[in-house]
Structure 1
Amino acid sequence: MSDDSPVQLAEAVEVFFSYSHRDEELRDELAKHLSNLKRQGIITDWYDREISAGTERTVEIAARLNSARIILLLVSADFMASDYIHDVELRRAMERHQAGEAQVIPVILRPVDWDGAPFSRLQPLPKDAIPVTEWVNHDAAFRDIAQGIRNAIKPGSYTPLTTRKRSFLPLFLKASSIAVLVLVLRFLGILQPAELWTFDCLMQLRLPEAQDNRLLIVEVTEEDVNAQKKRNEPMQGSLSDISLNNLLKKLEKYKPRAIGLDVYRDELDFQQNNLFAVCKASDSSVKLQGSGPPSGIPESRVGFSDFVPEEALRRHLLYLEPEASSLCQARDAFSLVLARHYLEIEGKQYYDPSSAGELRIGDVVFKRLQPFTGGYQGIDAAGYQTLLNYRSACNPRNVSSCSPQNIALRVTLSDVLDRNVLDSVENLNQRIVVIGVTHPESGDSWRTPYNAGFDGDMPGVVMQAQMVSQILSAVLDRRPLLWVWPQWGEALWILAWSGVGGALAWWVRPLSRLVGGSVVALLILWASGWVVLSCFGGWIPLVPPALSLAASGFLIRFYAGNQSRFLSPEL
């Protein structure tokens, strides 16, 4: 197609004449030379003489000035001397030009000093900025102006429909390159801290749930420790054997479905069939010796108490292969042992991952965490790990206090021994009782995704209750386990948002609208992540697509700006 071929536009470009009435004859001559562009449907033009009788003049001029896509400044001494033109029309024209909403073209009609004028940096017409009246042939000057306007509407300023189709390929390639770069940064783990922080924020924003009434936590508090010392009981850590035996005697009267003792002991005086104990696995790589279970407790009722070491506990370690020299030979986590016992009574069969290849209870599969899972990139996924779906609940005594610390009903050692609080606990024979220490100096407390929103770390016994609840709720209540997309799905998601950023920058040219559109897109992205996590248990990428959107938008905006000498919007 030659340069003189008609330009195929989606719609005609509206042209606004800003001029002095003393130059009306020259304006009319220019309009005649633009008639060919009008007949071809390339432009429509408007000037103030077209204002209908009874129409408010300033309102109509302002409306036309705001809707025009090309604004012609017919420059002369009278144009420069007009306060109205300078203060109203010229000011608004340059505002729209700088915002990318319109294209301002100075047309020099008569000789005048326009150096330093607001439009002085714009390329004028006709050729070489020679005023029309200084041309030997005025028609030649007007023809040059008409051709200049035609060329301004061709590729490089206002993009024709056919050119826009051809421009889609580089747009797609640039958006794709940004997405690939972000994926590389993600793979290298550079984005992991930001992704984990975002995940934590979304966890904190989830709505609270009901407490798990299948659990009861008996905690040894600082007051309980002091009370034992006042009674001169020989202490083992924070819990004496005397208080422990009295506690187990009290509990046995109510025959709870299981009693989980999250306290290390070498031996126990009680050997009830519903009593479960913990041991600690060894780790020769960090010279961690570990500790064994109490003597006399069968292996089937012993679980390891270990958690995944990380700055905030987001993973649930369910199963591991112990070292041959370890004092703790338990393969199943303490939480899994308790939950299995409960669920076996409910008729749910357990499938061992060492033989089945995956950990399954009933028809619920606990998918193994991989080194590259969601925001985690290249982590140590040893053992059988899954993501931990915390339950945040409100305290029945204070419904305004909602926290994952309220996972289940909590009573203190003194409540049980001195105040007979167990009489008021409903369905205690259908509960798992977890006993542990919450005394701050015990050293058994853990950071969680909720630390930024709630004061204090989570005691280990409460963490065990969270993990037991996750297993029970997934099998019995169909509460979703946390899941992620496959890596190819996440890559497509990131690529799609990179395309959104590029499309916004390519099509929405006014900077204010582009910023507004980008903010709306980011809010939609964030809301999508919250809805998917809160309602369906899905952890979808947020930081990589947000980064892709912003970077792609910047690159495409920069690319589009270099395609034109004017800051002009695309049609």
Structure 2
Amino acid sequence: MLKWLQKHLIPIGSGITVITIVMATKFIGVWQFWELNLLDRSFSLSPAEPIDDRVVIIGIDEADLRDVGYPVPDQVLAELIKNLQTDQVRAIGIDIFRDLPVPPGTKELEQIFAHTPQVIGIEKSVLPTPDNASVRPPYGLAREQVGFADVLVDMDGKIRRSLLSAPGIDGEYRFAFATRLATLYLEQEGITLSNGIKDENAFRFGDKELTRFKSYTAGYVRADAGGNQVLINWRRGVKFPRFSLAQLQQKKFNPDTFADKIIIIGYTAPFSAKDSFLVQNTEIFGVEYHAHTVSQIISYVLDDRPLLRTFPPLLEYVFIIFWGFGTIVWSLVCPSPWKMYGGLGLSIIFLCSCHYGLIVNHYWLPVIPTLICIVTAPVVTRNVQDFRAFLAQQQQLLEQRQQTLDDAFNAMHNGPLHTLGEILSLLKTEVVPQTTIAAKLQQLDRELRSVYESLRPENLAKAASTPLHELLFEVYHRTMQRDFACFRSLKIKIPDINPINDRGLNGELKREICDFLEESLCNVGKHATGATRLVVVCKEINGKRSVKVIDNGAGLPQGTTKVSGGTKHAYQLARRLRGKFDRRPNQPQGTICELEW
């Protein structure tokens, strides 16, 4: 595993860089807009839930306003509240600003407010406006019968959070309209509002603590978390029973419809009384928004219907890293690009399905950064890997071309050039028999042809499969048959060529080792003046393999510093074999040329 990581370190590093960039962009909020809209889309596709009939909406629509006028007179509200009182309702919420009287019936309405403790009115007192304006609560209602109707709207104009309480513009702490209604309803169940245990600033009804929204919650980044906020877990499908003002006035309802219920009265007239908000790309009336927020609280406390739950930010980043690194590994181990992209596509489908399944089960896990990682990190990694493979291939081609040139030089140097040198030396003498010159030229012709043959791919393949000691013996036998002056004085020739381990040697390396032996023997034939003994050793001792040529000729001239092409090639070959080349004097005289690896 460690070797694999080291081999792919640069591609993996590029993929990790992409993951780091994506996490950084998540941290600064680049993906917030997309996360919030994906949340909306998941809510809209979720299956419908049962109607919460504990919350009933009385919507004053366009037809009602044509009958009673706009704004609704105090007398109409007073009669409506009196009728609802007889039905033993638990709470009546008036989602209509009534800071100014709308006669007739103002005195009657104030008296009803004063003597009806289950009535909750609204004010606007928390969220500042450009002119710092506010709307006072209705006259006649006690402070505990008033809740603010301020609504938190996200940057895209949609509502996803509910403000339960907050300091007012005047500095006094206030409760929301939904909080007042839910508290009034639950008190009759013997459940009271108190501070949280895990979070003392949170609300707790009985043993149910409402998790507060924080600045870095799920897809939100650096959001304003002032006051006491919770995410809204919108109820899907047909949400709440709904009646018009005319239906109540005409008694077109079952007498038990409103018993033990929370009644919320508000405008549902889209033209005459604009009171609507954008939720999941659709508009809902303000009275519907308050019904959702009230229902969310009492359903959580009484029915265990969860709030919208989220995961710790650290776990979200771990989730991104897990998927990002997993797809990076997949891109490196998958041999086919089509299989790679197919796997990434399945990962995206699986992740989207998980996101939807979590939303259905009241969890919100941000997935946009993870999806971005799945799309980008493995693709970048694969492209970097392919580019490095392309560069390696080009480098290999260059090395192969250079190797071919080196091989051609060595083949020419060890054969034809030596023969050509001999011919030139012969031509400098006074009398040279034509037969001798002809023989030398024929030898030169054969050697030139053999250079081409030695470089053919099939001969390289043959060399790769032939044991090295056999190739070396063949080179020794062929070279010793050449007509070098110093070979004529040799009395003793010992080819001590033993089988050795060929591991790690391809055809090219074997041929280069053979070229080394041929070059060393040719040097003996040309320069080992007076040599009578030649020993060629090829053996392996304790894992060390060596090819050694030993003669007892005149040896190297004193002070020799020039390095020939053959010597340079020997040093290069030693580096490629991760071994060493050594040329040193023999005792009492002569030269030793040794290649060890």
- TM-score where L is the length of structure 1: 0.63
Q: Structure 1 residues 549, 277: CA separation in 2 closer, same or farther (over 3 Å shift)? A: same
Q: Structure 1 residues 493, 162: CA separation in 2 closer, same or farther (over 3 Å shift)? A: closer
Deviations 1:348-369 (A, max 9, x none): 1211479932211111221221
Structure-to-structure mapping, 1:411-560, within 5 angstroms: 411-418=243-250, 420-423=251-254, 425-426=256-257, 428-441=258-271, 442-449=273-280, 451=281, 456-535=282-361, 537-560=362-385
Structure-to-structure mapping, 1:277-296, within 5 angstroms: 277-281=121-125, 283-284=127-128, 286-296=130-140
Structure-to-structure mapping, 1:159-558, within 5 angstroms: 163-167=3-7, 169-170=9-10, 172-229=12-69, 235=70, 237=71, 239-266=72-99, 268-269=109-110, 270-271=112-113, 272-281=116-125, 283-284=127-128, 286-310=130-154, 311-324=157-170, 331-352=174-195, 356-393=200-237, 406-418=238-250, 420-423=251-254, 425-426=256-257, 428-441=258-271, 442-449=273-280, 451=281, 456-535=282-361, 537-558=362-383
Distance 1:169 1:523 in 2: 29
Deviation at 1:525, TM superposition (A): 0.5
Partner SS for 1:565: helix
Distance 2:150 2:128 in 1: 15
Partner SS for 1:357: coil
Does residue 561 in structure 1 map to residue 386 in structure 2?
yes
Deviation at 1:467, TM superposition (A): 0.2
Distance 1:504 1:257 in 2: 60
The number of aligned residues is: 378
Deviation at 1:282, TM superposition (A): 5.2
Amino acid paired to 1:318? L
Deviation at 1:283, TM superposition (A): 4.7
Distance 1:168 1:479 in 2: 49
Q: Structure 1 residues 515, 491: CA separation in 2 closer, same or farther (over 3 Å shift)? A: same
* Residues 304 and 330, structure 1, Cα contact 8 Å, conserved in 2: no
Q: Structure 1 residues 171, 365: CA separation in 2 closer, same or farther (over 3 Å shift)? A: farther
Q: Structure 1 residues 285, 219: CA separation in 2 closer, same or farther (over 3 Å shift)? A: closer
* Residues 267 and 275, structure 2, Cα contact 8 Å, conserved in 1: yes
Amino acid paired to 2:190? G
Amino acid paired to 1:387? L
Partner SS for 1:563: helix
Q: CA RMSD in A?
A: 2.3
Distance 2:385 2:360 in 1: 39
Partner SS for 2:310: coil
Deviations 1:94-144 (A, max 9, x none): xxxxxxxxxxxxxxxxxxxxxxxxxxxxxxxxxxxxxxxxxxxxxxxxxxx
* Residues 374 and 540, structure 1, Cα contact 8 Å, conserved in 2: yes
Distance 1:288 1:357 in 2: 26
Distance 1:283 1:524 in 2: 41
Q: Structure 1 residues 221, 485: CA separation in 2 closer, same or farther (over 3 Å shift)? A: same
Q: Structure 1 residues 173, 483: CA separation in 2 closer, same or farther (over 3 Å shift)? A: farther
Distance 1:392 1:213 in 2: 14
Distance 2:253 2:381 in 1: 67
* Residues 126 and 169, structure 2, Cα contact 8 Å, conserved in 1: yes
Q: Structure 1 residues 287, 544: CA separation in 2 closer, same or farther (over 3 Å shift)? A: same
Amino acid paired to 1:538? Y
Partner SS for 1:440: coil
Deviation at 1:176, TM superposition (A): 3.0
Q: Structure 1 residues 283, 314: CA separation in 2 closer, same or farther (over 3 Å shift)? A: closer
Partner SS for 1:557: helix
Deviation at 1:425, TM superposition (A): 4.9
Q: Which has the higher contact order (CA 8 A, sep 6+)?
A: 1
Partner SS for 2:308: coil
Amino acid paired to 2:279? T
Deviation at 1:415, TM superposition (A): 0.6
* Residues 506 and 557, structure 1, Cα contact 8 Å, conserved in 2: yes
Partner SS for 1:514: helix
Q: Structure 1 residues 565, 324: CA separation in 2 closer, same or farther (over 3 Å shift)? A: closer
Deviation at 1:285, TM superposition (A): 6.0
Amino acid paired to 1:410? R
Greater than 4 Å deviation, 4+ residue runs: 168-172, 282-285, 352-355
Deviation at 1:162, TM superposition (A): 7.8
Q: Structure 1 residues 167, 193: CA separation in 2 closer, same or farther (over 3 Å shift)? A: same
Partner SS for 2:175: coil
The runs of 5 or more residues in structure 1 that have no matched partner are 1-160, 230-234, 394-405
Distance 2:213 2:200 in 1: 16
Deviations 1:479-532 (A, max 9, x none): 111122111101100111111221221122322212211110000100111111
Amino acid paired to 2:90? R
Distance 2:138 2:206 in 1: 30
Amino acid paired to 1:447? L
Amino acid paired to 1:457? E
